[in-house]
Every structure is written in C-alpha cells, then in structure tokens.
C-alpha cells in the first residue's frame, strides 16, 4: 500500500499545484482585465478633458472676436449690421461668401464689408435674410484706393488667386514695399480711409505706362467668421 499512498500523495500534490496555478492565472487575468478597463476609463477621461479644453479655447477666441467687433462697432458710426459667415464659394474662380444678414437688416447691394483688420469686399447680392459678399480677392472686384505714404491713387483689383493687384498706378509714382493701401472713396462705393491691403511686390514699369504692384489683403479671407457691413 505504501507505493499507492506515495502515488496518491503525489497526485494530490499535483492537483493542488494545478488548482493554485489556475487560481493564480485567473487572478492575473482578472487583474489584467481590470487594468485594461481602468486604462480605457482613463483614456476616455483624457479624451473628454481634451474636448472640453478645445471647447473652452474656442469660446475664448470667440469672446475675443466679439469684443473686438463690439469695440469696432462703437467706433464705426457707419455700420449697418454685424453678420456671421455661413458659407463660402467652392468654385476656384469665384471668391465669395454668404452672410446671415440681408435687406431685412438694412443691408443693400454694393455696401462695404469690413473687419477690424480691413476691407473684406462688398455686397454682391442682397436678399431678405442673407447676402452674398464679393471678396476683394475676386477678379471681378475693384475699388478706388490711395497709397498711405505717398498718397498716390490707383485701382485695387482681385487677382482670383487669393491676392490683389494695383492697376493704373502712374509710372511716375514711387510706391513703397509694405505700404498700406486705403480706400479713397472716389468710386462712390466705399467709404474713405478703410485699410484694404499691403503692398507685397513691386516691378519697375519699364516702358509701360503703369507700375505692376502685387498687394495682399489685410483681412485673412479664409478665417473670417464675423464681418461688419457699413454704409457709404
């Protein structure tokens, strides 16, 4: 019987070892599962905090913009309406956008559209509850302007590629790089003195009658969210 007893004890020992191993493995798997659940919970909390931070930063930027708009509104007696940009043209050759103010708000065709940074464009089409704005970067846009430093006059036109150019600037004029281009009011469309663009590149007229001057708008067109419509 002794060999059988020894064999039986060995079997019992093996069974006990296997049972303890199963318990240990089970506990380990439960711990791993618990760790994974905790990791997922923490990752979800981090995502939620990131979203809250982004929303907070967005609200801060919006508050800054609205404060700037309010201050500009107080300083701009010609303002008709503060409008929100609700869509932009998807056509490459067209530079326009839609705003949420129209004739029911006093907006009329050809009124100037501006921001605290400068001229944005003009009302191209006014409907009762919305309007289409033609941006100064559109090739169909033009405005009578004056150079800030030299006071020489020209026409600012869009180039259809996100920028602008000065036309009919006399060859005897002496434009300066980085000079600010202001509306002159001589076209009876735009109020006098609105900053519109900055001279970016100059080219000698050579034998031509006029300078070739590239200008970049002061307002960043693809980041506009609110604009101000002003009367002449």
- Domain that includes residue 151, residue range: 79-232
Q: Are 225 and 163 found together in one domain?
A: yes
Q: Are 35 and 115 found together in one domain?
A: no
Q: Are 98 and 135 found together in one domain?
A: yes
Boundary residue ending a domain (75, 106, 132): 75
pLDDT at 48: 72
Give the separation between CA 145 and CA 218, rounded to whole angstroms: 14
Give the separation between CA 7 and CA 219, rounded to whole angstroms: 92
Check if the beta carbon of residue 53 is closer than 8 Å to that of residue 45. Answer: no
Q: Answer yes or no: pTM beyond 0.85.
A: no
Comparing 90-99, 138-147, 183-192, 193-202, the range with the smallest average pLDDT is 90-99
pLDDT, average across residues 140-161: 92
Q: Name the DSSP letter for residue 71.
A: H
Q: Are 63 and 114 found together in one domain?
A: no
Write the DSSP assignment of 6-67 as a string of letters.
HHHHHHHHHHHHHHHHHHHHHHHHHHHHHHHHHHHHHHHHHHHHHHHHHHHHHHHHHHHHHH
Q: Are 136 and 71 found together in one domain?
A: no
Direct distance between the N- and C-terminal alpha carbons of the chain, in angstroms, rounded to an integer: 117
Q: Is 149 helix (H, G, I), strand (E, B) or coil?
A: coil
pLDDT tens, 156-181?
Answer: 999 888 899 999 988 888 888 899 99
Alpha-carbon dihedral sign for residues 191, 221, 219, 173: negative
Domain count, the chain: 2
């Amino acid at each position: 019987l002794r060999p059988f007893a020894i064999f039986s004890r060995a079997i019992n020992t093996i069974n006990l070892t296997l049972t303890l191993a199963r318990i240990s493995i089970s506990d380990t798997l439960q711990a791993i599962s618990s760790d994974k659940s905790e990791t997922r919970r923490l990752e979800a909390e981090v995502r939620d905090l990131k979203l809250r931070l982004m929303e907070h930063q967005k609200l801060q930027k919006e508050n800054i913009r609205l404060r700037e708009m309010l201050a500009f509104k107080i300083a701009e007696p010609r303002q008709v309406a503060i409008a929100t940009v609700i869509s932009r043209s998807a056509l490459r050759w067209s530079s326009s956008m839609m705003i949420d103010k129209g004739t029911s708000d006093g907006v009329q065709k050809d009124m100037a559209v501006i921001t605290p940074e400068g001229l944005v464009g003009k009302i191209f089409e006014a409907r009762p509850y919305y309007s289409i704005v033609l941006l100064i970067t559109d090739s169909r846009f033009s405005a009578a302007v004056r150079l800030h430093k030299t006071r020489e006059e020209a026409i600012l036109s869009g180039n259809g590629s996100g920028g602008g150019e000065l036309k009919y600037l006399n060859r005897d004029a002496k434009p300066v790089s980085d000079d600010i281009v202001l509306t002159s009011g001589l076209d009876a469309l735009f109020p006098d003195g609105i900053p519109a663009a900055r001279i970016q590149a100059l080219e000698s007229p050579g034998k031509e009658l006029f300078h070739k001057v590239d200008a970049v708008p002061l307002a960043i067109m693809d980041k506009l969210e609110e604009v101000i419509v002003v009367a002449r």
